[in-house]
Amino acid sequence: MPKGDTLGEFEYLVLLAIVRLRDNAYGMRVRQEIADRTGRDTSIGAVYATLDRLESKRLIAGTISAPTPERGGRAKRSFEITRAGLAALNRTRRDFASMLEGLVFPPQGAPR
């Protein structure tokens, strides 16, 4: 499998957030979705860097909307998942499920 087809952990979270947010997936919402669900306080820069990487891998596609007053007159960039992105997401989910199969938590022999 080419290296670009695999997802890093944060890339996986960002893709899942985009799928959850549907039409409302943009930097700030993705950051909030990850923070609400995982408790991670990520920076907006880290989210944008990951979005840029996912876009260059063609796993998501971005569209620019018109500036609005509540954004200080600045434009917004929304994202949606592509077919390749969905395939990558499913593959990663399968990989995780396969690795977790049969494991009992906490694992036997783990330090207490």
Partner 1 sequence: MNPGRVSQFLLFAFVGAAEAEFVAGDLAEEFASLANRRGPRVARRWYFRQVVRSILPLLTVRLRSGEFTRALLAAAGAVIPLAILDRLWSFVYSQIPLKESLHRDPALLAMNVGLLVVSAWLAGLRVRTRPEAVSSAVLAAALTALVLCAGPAPAPVLYVALAIPAAPVGCLTACCWRRSG
In the complex, the residues that contact partner 1 under the rule CB under 8 A are 26-28, 31-32, 43-46, 48-49, 52-53, 56, 67, 70-72, 74-77
Measured in whole angstroms, the distance separating CA 87 from the mean position of its chain's CA atoms is 14
Residue matched to tokens 């549907």: 22
Between residues 50 and 92, which has the closer beta carbon with respect to partner 1? 50
Least CB distance to partner 1 at residue 31 (A): 8
Between residues 4 and 45, which has the closer beta carbon with respect to partner 1? 45
Between residues 4 and 67, which has the closer beta carbon with respect to partner 1? 67
Query: Could you tell me how many residues make up the chain?
Result: 112
Query: Does residue 2 have a cis bond before it (omega within 30 degrees)?
Result: no
Least CB distance to partner 1 at residue 99 (A): 28
Cβ neighbours around 15 below 10 Å, total: 25
